């Protein structure tokens, strides 16, 4: 724990007077991320679909940081109208930093009103919409958009005939494809940093059947990083810039260790250009 605190002291600075919006704030990574941000003096906007859960977290955080300023903004990433309403609300009081942390992995699948598979909608279409609407305001404030990617993005390449992977069955590839779109559609934008937490024991890693998860939960805690440590790669994204072929994540095999900026060469320039073209088309239709 002392080493973690030393890392925070050496690699961050005060965020007093800065407003940070965090999607997926009530999840395993999100909760720890909020704690670090509050310890740095940031004001928070918690973007979550569950208002009661979000307000309960705000009260919990206020008990730890009595002077903290935090508010809830309702957003259901499966519901495009709710996403647009959240974007409008944030545009009225723009954040200095937007952290696209929310994600869904192995969940019951269905088509959203947009026509996209819900995993693609949650992990790409909705956060991309928020990014496109808010990024100009964030950049004007001298802030930054932090994209939370995943090592799963490298499990497959994009497919123009099945953009949202709605015909695929493997959860890792469906999720990875959406993260691939999110990462590479935004990676070349000014004021954008791409990060990833490696593998941490969170709700996403708890997708196994209950009987199986009960057996592997504790071994996983011994093998993989805790959310307290894994969230530091996301924190690093606020303070460290990346180029179009870099990201920030755990330094050892992208799974363990403290954050390090590393090369990202898993997408060709041709595929990246095609992903951006498709993403712009999707945004225009949302």
> At residue 243, does pLDDT exceed 70?
yes
Structure tokens at 55: 């307000």
Q: How many CA atoms lie within 13 A of 128 on its CB side?
A: 27
State pLDDT tens for residues 257-275.
999 999 999 999 999 999 9
Adjacent-strand bridge partners of 70: 44
The owner of tokens 């690699």 is 11
Contact between residue 94 and residue 138 where contact means Cβ atoms under 8 Å apart: yes
Greatest Cα pair distance, the chain, in angstroms, is: 52
**Predicted local distance difference test score (pLDDT) of residue 224:** 67
Q: In the chain, pLDDT over 90 holds for what percent of residues?
A: 88
Contact between residue 103 and residue 180 where contact means Cβ atoms under 8 Å apart: no
Give the chain as a DSSP string.
Answer: -HHHHHHHHHH----TT-EEEEETTTSHHHHHHHHHHHHTT-EEEEEES-HHHHHHHHHHHHHHSTT--EEEEE--TT-HHHHHHHHHHHHHS--SEEEE-----S----B-TTSSBHHHIIIIIHHHHHHHHHHHHHHHTT-EEEEE--GGGGGS---TTSTT-TT---HHHHHHHHHHHHHHHHTTSTTEEEE---SBSSTGGG-S-HHHHHHHHHHHHHHSBPHHHHTHHHHHHHHS---TTEEEEEEETTTEEEEEEEE--SS-HHHHHHHHHHHHHHHHH-
State pLDDT tens for residues 176-214.
999 999 999 999 999 999 999 998 765 554 444 544 444
The strand pair at 144-148 and 192-195 is best described as parallel
How many other C-beta atoms lie within 10 A of the C-beta of residue 286? 16
Q: Which residue has the higher pLDDT, 268 or 106?
A: 268
Question: Rg of the Cα trace of the chain?
Answer: 18
Adjacent-strand bridge partners of 261: 248
Contact between residue 123 and residue 179 where contact means Cβ atoms under 8 Å apart: yes
**Predicted local distance difference test score (pLDDT) of residue 213:** 44
What is the pTM assigned to this prediction? Answer: 0.93
Q: Which pLDDT band, with edges at 50, 70 and 90, does 39 fall under? A: very high
**Predicted local distance difference test score (pLDDT) of residue 219:** 55
């Amino acid at each position: 724990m002392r080493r973690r605190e030393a890392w925070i002291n050496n690699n961050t600075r005060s965020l007093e007077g800065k407003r940070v919006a965090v999607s997926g704030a009530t999840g395993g990574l999100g909760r720890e991320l909020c704690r670090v941000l509050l310890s740095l003096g940031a004001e928070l906007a918690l973007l979550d679909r569950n208002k009661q859960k979000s307000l309960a977290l705000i009260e919990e955080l206020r008990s730890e940081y009595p002077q903290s300023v935090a508010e809830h903004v309702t957003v259901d990433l499966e519901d495009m109208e709710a996403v647009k309403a959240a974007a409008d609300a944030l545009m009225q009081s723009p954040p200095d930093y937007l952290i696209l942390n929310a994600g869904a992995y192995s969940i019951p699948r269905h088509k959203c009103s947009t026509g996209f598979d819900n995993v693609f909608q949650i992990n790409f279409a909705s956060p991309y919409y928020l990014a496109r609407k808010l990024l100009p305001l964030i950049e004007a404030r001298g802030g930054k958009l932090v994209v939370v990617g995943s090592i799963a993005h490298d499990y497959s390449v994009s497919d123009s005939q099945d953009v949202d992977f709605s015909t695929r069955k493997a959860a890792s590839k469906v999720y990875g494809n959406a993260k691939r779109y999110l990462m590479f559609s935004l990676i070349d934008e000014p004021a954008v940093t791409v990060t990833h937490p490696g593998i941490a024991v969170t709700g996403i890693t708890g997708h196994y059947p209950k009987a199986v998860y009960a057996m592997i939960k504790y071994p996983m805690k011994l093998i993989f990083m805790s959310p307290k440590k894994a969230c530091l790669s996301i924190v690093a994204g606020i303070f460290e810039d990346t180029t179009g072929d870099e990201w920030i994540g755990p330094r050892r095999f992208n799974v363990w260790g403290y954050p390090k900026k590393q090369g990202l060469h898993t997408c060709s320039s041709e595929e990246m250009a095609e992903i951006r073209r498709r993403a712009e088309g999707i945004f225009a239709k949302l």
